[in-house]
Each structure stands twice: as structure tokens, then as C-alpha cells.
Structure 1
Amino acid sequence: MYQHKATTKQKGDLAELKAISYLEDNGFKIIEKNFYAKKLGEIDIIASKDNVYHFVEVKSGDSFEAVYNITASKLRKLYNSIQYYLKTKNLDIAYCIDAIIISNNDLEFLENISL
């Protein structure tokens, strides 16, 4: 029987849904998802907890370490996107950059990552 193979976008969407579910189960409030910051890039998930905004990058994979896709270049783009978000929303808040790595059925939450 033919089995439909999920596209990269479908896999990414599913990973983001798992990440959102994890965050909500752990007391985070989802503020926004897939915020597009003009030519700067996209922020996968914006959440808040304890008066801190969490800008969350979601990475998934099944045959390699997805964490290695979070490069210094990606973090710089994410930082610039965050600055754009804060400016357009007129926010002056505490924030951090987090990552959720989903590999097969495992989920790892990395808080407060930096360059």
C-alpha cells in the first residue's frame, strides 16, 4: 500500500504543534506563532511565562541532530527579528531565546540560548 510521505513544511508544522502543546502544558501562554519580520526572517513561536517573553525556535529531524541547525547565523537573524517584533509592538520587556528540538518522538527544551 502506498504511504504518503510528509513534506518538509508538513513536518515543520507538526513539530510546531508539538512544541506549542509542550509549552502550554508547562505554563506558557502562546502570544503569536510564525511571526514574519519582513526580510529578516520568521519567529516560530512567541510565548510568555512569569512576565518574560520567550522567542522559540523549533527544529525537527529524524536522521540527524536537529540542534546543529541552530547556527550563529540563524541566531543573529532571530535576534534581528526579535528586535523588529519588539519595535513594531512597542514593547520594552524581558525576553530570552529558547529552542525546542524534536527528534522522532523526543522533545528537548533548551532555554535561554545565545550566540
Structure 2
Amino acid sequence: MSRQKGNIAEEKAVNFLKQKDFVIIEQNYYAKKMGEIDIIATKGGVYHFVEVKSGTSYDAVYNITPAKLHKLIKSIYYYLKVKNLDVKFCIDAVIVYDNKIDILENITL
């Protein structure tokens, strides 16, 4: 995915999450040597670490591989340590299609 297309998908995801009463804390948080967290948001006292994928079909979800999730989990623990947070959290995925957006909540390996 091109960076421009990725930025558009992330902006759509942010707007979607805001409509669902999520509070956006950060976007594109880079954890040194580990990876990037696309969106960090809160809702109901829970931190949501969100991976954004886009595509023209549901196949975009398959781009969230075990290796990608492993890097994301390492990045999340880095973020929590740096920010000195001891909070409830989950990993979500927002899939952005041409005319639709889906959220997959609390994804795991």
C-alpha cells in the first residue's frame, strides 16, 4: 500500500472510531526497532491499539499476519512502559474498503 493510500485509510479509520465514541490518543506511534502502532485510542477506560488495513475486499484482513501481530504486541508493551501506563488494553483492526469500514475488536494470535 502506498503511503498516501495508507494515510487516507488511517484518516477514514480515525473518523470512524470517533463516530463510535473512541477518543484518539495518538496516531502513527513508532516504537524504536519494533514497529508502528497506527492508532491508539481509548473507550470505556480501555486502551485500543488499532491496526489499519485497506483494500477492495475482505482479503485485506489477511495482511495482519502472526509476525505483524507479534511486532505490534512488542510495540504496545514498549508504549506502555515508556508512558508508564498500567491499563486494560486490546488490539483491534479497522479494515477500510472503498465504501465500507469494519472493525474487528480484540484480535489475537
Distance 1:23 1:13 in 2: 15
Q: How far did 1:61 drift?
A: 1.4
Aligned length: 109
Equivalence for 1:50: 44
Equivalent position to 1:37, from 10, 18, 31:
31
Higher RCO by CA contacts (8 Å cutoff, separation 6 or greater): 2
Taking structure 2 as the reference length, what is the TM-score of the superposition? Answer: 0.96
State the superposition RMSD in angstroms.
Answer: 1.2
Equivalence for 1:11: 5
Taking structure 1 as the reference length, what is the TM-score of the superposition? Answer: 0.91
Q: How far did 1:106 drift?
A: 1.4
The unaligned stretches of length 5 or more in structure 2 are: none
Q: How far did 1:62 drift?
A: 2.3
Q: Deviations over 1:73-109 (max 9, x none)?
A: 1000000000000000000000000000112221110
Equivalence for 1:71: 65
Task: Could you list the structure 1 runs, at least 4 aligned residues long, displaced by more than 6 angstroms after superposition.
Answer: none
Residues 28 and 63 (structure 1), Cα distance of their counterparts in 2 relative to 1, 3 Å cut: closer
Task: Please give the secondary structure, in 1, of the residue aligned with 2:101.
Answer: strand
Q: Deviations over 1:45-92 (max 9, x none)?
A: 000000000000000012671001001110000000000000000000
Larger Cα Rg: Structure 1 or Structure 2? 1
What is the identity percentage for the equivalent residue pairs of Structure 1 and Structure 2?
61
